[in-house]
Structure 1
Amino acid sequence: MADTTLSFNHIFSKVQSTLPGCIKSENASPITDIFNSKIPETTKHCVEVAVRNYVTKKIINGEKTKLDAIRAVTLICIELVRNELSLPTLPVQVLGDSFDALTIDQCEELFTFVESNVSIWKEDTFFSPCKTSVLRMCNDLLRRLSRSQNTVFCGRILLFLARFFPFSERSGLNLISEFNLENVTTFTNVEQDPEEMEEETKEKEGGGISLDYTLYTKFWSLQDFFRNPPQCFQKAPWKMFTVYCGDVLEAFKSFKLDNVQSRSTTAAQISRTLSTDPTAQENPKSEPQDQYFAKYLTNQKLLDLQFSDANFRRYVLLQILTLTQYLTSDIRFKTETLSEDQLTWVKKTEELVFSLLAETPPDGVAFVGTVKHILKRELMWSDWKNNGCPDIKGPSDDTDKNQNSKKDDWDSKSAMKKRGKKRLGEIVREADSKKKFSMGNAEMTRLWNLHQNNLEACKLPERDFVPALETYFNPAIEQLGGKSDTKEQDKLVNDSNFGWRGLRLLANRSPHFFTHSASPIATLPEYLTTMIKKLAKELPSQLSDDMKAEEEDDKEDEKVILEQNDGVKDEEESMEVDGGEDRPDVRAINEEEQKALAKNLVKLGGDKWKALAKKLGFQDDEIEYMESEKNKKGTPEGAAVYMFHLWVENEGEEANKDNLLYTLGGLKMTEIADGVFT
């Protein structure tokens, strides 16, 4: 251990020789081992000088500077301060020396380290001694930066200061509401040459309003009122402001932003083409990024493009809203007020500005809601400044303590209420005692406890959302029956949504959906039309006389067409239409024959009709369905009639006398057909 009475030169050389090892290990122990007891202020100054000299002479080396070494030295200095071996300002002074000697890009990278350790600078050990040094370091950085070229870095520094200092810090409050009068906007005071104006007018024919020199002058003159709002309380400036503002808003109202999206896309593509970022060139179809401009150019020739820029318009309209809120709000150091007529004008102007913001794409309505919220919060901060900027503290627990002090028994429930949160086990135990479920979410818990037995609740009648066939298809049946004057393209069968739901319903409620059909289906509307006509036959109350007449007309037309085409089509087509020359009389059995066959079939007794149904191609579930229909109609004959009816519908002309006699012969039931086909 070295003695604390070492000379300055000895301490200086000892610290500098120890620092390289400390930087590699990021540990301050080798330096703390130099001293065996607390050191006086003079020795702390020696340590500070040694560290700062090492950083400026050995670490900082222009663009070759290793920023990781500066970060390591700063962390070592923090440990030295906590061990009372250095002054509290040493870490900030090391950072300040580094920022003074580094380039802007290096400063921006190193400042990330300062931002990430804001909690350290706010500790009691560092805040009071270092706050002036921190403010000086940030101000020196801001003086080196350009507000137009290093806008983001400037904003990061200001945000860091806002996080570092408390709200009540006087240096950042502007208590007397002063304005930055040095922010002067200069623009051209000379009107364009008349010949140039004529050429521009010809180029802009049919392109909207004319942005002449008068409007240009009025527009940029408004910046002087935004820079110095108190002048609006004077009579002459107020009149000038109202006239200029009215003309500009009227120009915005007339100059619609119809092509904002295309222009912004084109500008983004040009920006990506000129960009040096390889990812921007490789992905030219990526979404354009918003650009921020701290200061706009004031050339008259750019006014047309600026009026077409949505961001530019929003900036100007927000400036007007900020100014009008200042003129009407209650501010401590503002002595002037507006008259009733002036307040009326301000109110109408604000309504017009909000309507223009809502019309400005993209997301104009959402943007207006955000602006109103921000302006409302600004009024709260204004009231806070009017009250002298009191310290902002969190809610106190005095009320809870007073209530709890009145209780003698500190049971588990009161303790949990004081903590404000129940344990998971207690929540589950409490819900289980009430025969309820706790799902960990309020809405899920509510839904899960609507019924005691959720499986049984799913079977309740009100949970059946599938409509009846009659209810769903009745409007389509009426349209096909001719009861409505609906145009062909507006009918429900041509609606894809109606067709999709209809197929789902047919699959659920109708046996026709799964039956085989030999005729090809061209389109969904044609298929639905066929199925609806079949359903209408089963529901005679729903089938209108017009539909019956239409079916008869269709049959007559089909007969005429077949007669006209007889002998023209080839052998295969004629067989598909009329069954060929060898079968001229082939036809499906009619309803009278079906009833007679069913009557003879029932006379045989038993379940003979089920055996015939299997031979005719019906499955077991279809036979059960026919039997249920028998129970509805009250007689076994009804099931047999229904079986023959379905057979004819499914097979068409194949359900004829010859095929039936062949099938009955195999079952030795030919007596069923005796006296039927005469």
Structure 2
Amino acid sequence: MGAYHTELARIATERLSGLLTQARIVKQQTTIDPPLLVSELTTGDKPLLGPADADETHKTAIEVAAKNVFYAVTASTDIEDPAFVQIWNLLDILQYSGDRDQCLPHLVFLLIEELLDSQSIEGCRIVFNYLESRRENLIAKSSRNKDLVILRSCNELLRRLSRAEDAVFCGRVYIFLFQTFPLGDKSSVNLRGDFHVENVTTFEEYLKSSEAEDDSMNVDTEESIEPANEKAKLEQDIEPKESTPSTQERKPDTQDIDALYPVFWSLQHAFSNPTTLFEEANFKEFQKGLEATIDKFKEVPKVIQTSETEGKRGVKRRSSDDQDESATTFNPKYLTSRDLFKLELSDLAFQRHILVQALILIDFLSSLTEKSKQKPYYVKAQKAMQYTFTLGEQQAEWASGIKNTIANYLRDGPDGSFYYRMVDTVLSRDKNWVRWKMENCTPFTRDRVPTKEFLEAKSGAQKLADSNNILRPKRFGGLNLEFLSNTQGKKGLERLKRGNRFVVPNVDSYVKEVESIELDLEMVTSEQEKRDMEEEKANKTWRALRIASKDKLSSFDRLADGKNLERLFQPATTVEATGGEDSAPSGPEDRDAVPPEQHQSAEEQRADQRSQVTTGTAAE
């Protein structure tokens, strides 16, 4: 059995070596790109390395053959040598064969993992260039074994990289992982909610009290007196002012850099492990430290890094290999040297990093209020994400106030509004991710609809559309079309063509109809009939006013609530003589009530007015 496996591996090795020789003819470039056209290495349906759906024996033989060729080339050729293109061609062939089940699907990633382990950091950059250029083809058909190898190789590479010196390369690895795995994959989810407590920030604790020494056994010299005096001076600087008796809590003097130094760097302990703030003493210390830090940020002059002013928004970054060297100003690990502390406080980018950390921590604390804990998703969350600590009302009020203070401060400065908007957007989306994680990462992606179900639904929709084209007597919600049928010997369409249907009626006709309705209203006997006639009267009145608005709009002030439409056709003198509806007498009874001396016609009134005007003019 061993001899049989050895013979299969030898045949596969010869076949693979022949394919690599043929690949040098198909792809004459010695670079990673363009990819090898593997389909040109075979003719027709002939398998490339073995039969389709090969058994485990053939797949194992191909794996042994691939490793033999891989080790032979990597042992004798440098990764920057043009002859190293054989490795890229080999990986392309294995990827092509793995997708067609002629070898192990994850064999190409096994070799990439070994290649990363055998190269330096500079060599790993070149290997990662290959991964980024072939990513879509490599992950076209995913499998559990392939995903595990990708995670293992990328995590191992991240352990080797320095986040201070290789920050951009680390970002490329993370982006590759994000693009490779689906959005809802649990492989990158911190299900237990563990904090990164291993990220410890060390600094020189100047204000830390030293061990007590026996003064009687020591002799005070100039060298020993000077440090003691400096220490006493520093301790005196952080003592609270005794200006008011109510001052009981100690708060560092923000004017003193030495006093602020240990308080400032102590905030990193809370940032890396927020659960330490569940103790009241630690929370109060954090409050005082953060307030003192913000006050100091407001006092010191701002220094803007050159990279920030030169890197304008909207400029597309280069994708070349030298992008790692173009971002050397960023250092994710803080430098805690006492000599650099004053310069760091004035750096605007440094201030923003610290304040963003504070915003993240404050959002975490705000999610532990009594009101937040009553939300359904928090009640159903896993036990690891539920905390027994509850933020009090005063603490919650302080958290809300300090968050607004930080937000207002971040909005200041160059591009401050844009910067804070981006930070706020990221934090808002992060809250949604936290909620999704507390809900045990329920899947939010849907599987594809099977082809059979899609075709059935499509044919059903087509049949329903065809059946709806048939004219029914009365469809759901449709109008009654009986008026189109023959009525009184005339077809309905011919009735619609009559001239009086598309000619604008005369206003007089509507006025007469309104007067007729008013007479009929006096003889109605039922309320329903009265309502119907009033509605018809309002309809006719509105139609008459709409038509009259074209040439008699100036006469509308003679009307009162649409009454007495006949006034639209009376001369202005007649209306002035009769007066308004309320002022002029409208019947014989009203005229009898007016004194006889007031019974003047309109002509007599106008004659009197003319005579008065003439007399006045002559008098002048």
**TM score, norm. by length of structure 1:** 0.50
Shift of the alpha carbon at 1:64?
Answer: 4.4
Residues 1:325 and 1:407: Cα distance change in structure 2 (over 3 Å): farther
Alignment of 1:387 onto 2:443: no
Partner of 1:51: 66
Alignment of 1:11-410 (within 5 A): 11-24=11-24, 25=26, 26=36, 27=38, 28-29=41-42, 32=47, 35=50, 39-60=54-75, 61-66=77-82, 67-124=84-141, 126-190=142-206, 210-257=255-302, 260-261=303-304, 264=306, 291-329=329-367, 330=372, 332=381, 333-335=385-387, 336-359=389-412, 361-393=413-445, 405=461, 408-409=464-465
Q: Per-residue displacement from partner, 1:207-251 (whole Å, max 9, x unpaired)?
A: x97442220010000000001111212111111111111111111
CA deviations on 1:229-284 (whole Å, 9 max, x unpaired) are 11212111111111111111111122242xx35x648999xxxxxxxxxxx9xxxx
Deviation at 1:105, TM superposition (A): 1.4
Q: CA deviation at 1:6?
A: 8.2
The letter for the 2-side match of 1:10 is R
Contact 1:180 1:227 in 2 (8 A): yes
Pick closer, same or farther for the CA change 1:302–1:36 going to 2, 3 Å.
closer
Deviation, 1:116, is 3.1
Q: Contact 1:77–1:91 at 8 Å: present in 2 too?
A: yes
Q: For each residue in 1:301-330, what CA deviation from the matched residue of structure 2 results, as whole angstroms up to 9, or x when unmatched?
A: 111110111110000000110000001125
- Alpha-carbon spacing, 1:184–1:409, altered in 2? closer, same or farther (3 Å): same
Contact 2:51–2:102 (CA under 8 A) maintained in structure 1: no
* Structure 1 residue runs without a partner (length 5+): 201-207, 269-279, 281-287, 414-678
Q: Is the 8 A contact 2:52 2:101 kept in 1?
A: no
| Structure 2 unmatched runs, 5+ | 27-35, 208-225, 235-252, 311-321, 373-377, 470-620
* 8 Å CA contact 2:344, 2:350 repeated in 1: yes
Alpha-carbon contact 1:122-1:164 (below 8 Å) kept: yes
Question: Equivalent residue of 2:414, what SS?
Answer: coil
Q: Cα 1:216–1:23, aligned 2, differ >3 Å: closer, same or farther?
A: same
Tell me, what secondary structure is at the counterpart of 2:465?
Answer: coil
Aligned CA distance change for structure 1 residues 216 and 46 (closer, same or farther; 3 Å) = same
Are residues 264 and 80 of structure 1, via their aligned partners in 2, closer, same or farther at CA, if it must alter by over 3 Å?
A: closer
Distance 1:289 1:153, change over 3 A: closer
Partner letter of residue 350 of structure 1? K
For residues 388 and 310 of structure 1, the distance between their equivalents in structure 2, rounded to whole angstroms, comes to 39
Structure 1 residue 127: Cα displacement:
2.6
Amino acid corresponding to residue 122 of structure 2 in structure 1: D
| TM-aligned CA distance change 1:107 to 1:23, over 3 Å | farther
Q: Give the equivalent residue in structure 2 for 1:437.
A: none
* Separation in structure 2 between the aligned mates of residue 149 and residue 216 of structure 1, nearest angstrom: 26
Deviation at 1:406, TM superposition (A): 10
Distance in 2 separating the partners of 1:5 and 1:183 = 50
- State the one-letter code of the partner of 1:179: F
**Aligned residue pairs, count:** 379
SS in 2 for 1:7: helix
CA deviations on 1:510-562 (whole Å, 9 max, x unpaired) are: xxxxxxxxxxxxxxxxxxxxxxxxxxxxxxxxxxxxxxxxxxxxxxxxxxxxx
1:8 aligned residue: 8
Deviation at 1:33, TM superposition (A): 5.9
Aligned CA-pair RMSD: 3.9
C-alpha displacement at 1:41, in angstroms?
Answer: 1.2
Provide the C-alpha distance between the structure 1 equivalents of 2:424 and 2:9, rounded to a whole number of angstroms.
65
Conserved 8 A contact 2:9-2:65? no
Task: Determine the C-alpha separation between the residues in 2 that align with 1:39 and 1:395.
Answer: 29
**2:57 partner amino acid:** T
The verdict on how the C-alpha distance between 1:46 and 1:89 changes in structure 2, with shifts beyond 3 A counting, is same
Amino acid at match of 1:409: A
In 2, Cα distance between equivalents of 1:21 and 1:396: 42
How many Å separate the matches in 1 of 2:47 and 2:192?
Answer: 49
Once residues 468 and 328 of structure 2 are traced to their aligned partners in structure 1, the CA distance between those partners, rounded to angstroms, is 55
Q: Shift in Å at residue 10 of structure 1?
A: 3.2
Q: Percent identity?
A: 27
How far apart, in 1, do the equivalents of 2:138 and 2:467 lie? 43
Residue matched to 2:213:
none
Query: Match of 1:409, SS?
Result: helix
1:379-407 per-residue CA deviation (whole Å, 9 max, x = no partner) reads 111111122212222699999x7998498
Distance 1:173 1:80 in 2: 32
SS of aligned partner of 1:176:
coil
Give the distance between the partners of 1:83 and 1:267, measured in 2 at CA.
Answer: 51
Q: State the secondary structure of the residue aligned to 2:143.
A: helix
Q: Is the 8 A contact 1:15 1:50 kept in 2?
A: no
Distance 2:459 2:50 in 1: 54
Q: Output the amino acid matched with 1:170.
A: K
The change in CA–CA distance for 1:194 and 1:403 in structure 2 (over 3 A counts) is farther
How far does residue 112 in structure 1 lie from its aligned partner after superposition?
A: 2.2
- Amino acid in structure 1 at the alignment position of 2:185: E
For 2:182, the aligned partner's letter is P
Higher relative contact order (CA 8 A, sep 6+): 2
Amino acid corresponding to residue 257 of structure 2 in structure 1: D
Corresponding residue for residue 507 of structure 2:
none
SS of corresponding position for 1:56: helix
* Cα distance in 2 for residues equivalent to 1:36 and 1:173: 40
User: Structure 1 211/292 Cα, relative in aligned 2: closer, same or farther at 3 Å?
Assistant: farther
Shift, 1:37, TM fit: 7.2
Q: In the superposition, relative to structure 1, how do residues 265 and 114 fare at CA in structure 2: closer, same or farther (>3 Å)?
A: closer
> How far apart, in 2, do the equivalents of 1:164 and 1:265 lie?
31
How far apart, CA to CA, are the structure 1 residues paired with 2:459 and 2:8? 62
Listed one character per residue, the Cα deviations across residues 134-170 of structure 1 (whole Å, up to 9, x for unaligned) are: 1111122112211111111111112211222223322
SS, match of residue 163 in structure 2: coil
Letter in 1 for 2:366: T
How many angstroms does 1:68 deviate by?
A: 3.2
Shift of 1:291: 3.0
Distance change >3 Å, CA 114–CA 223, structure 1 → 2? same
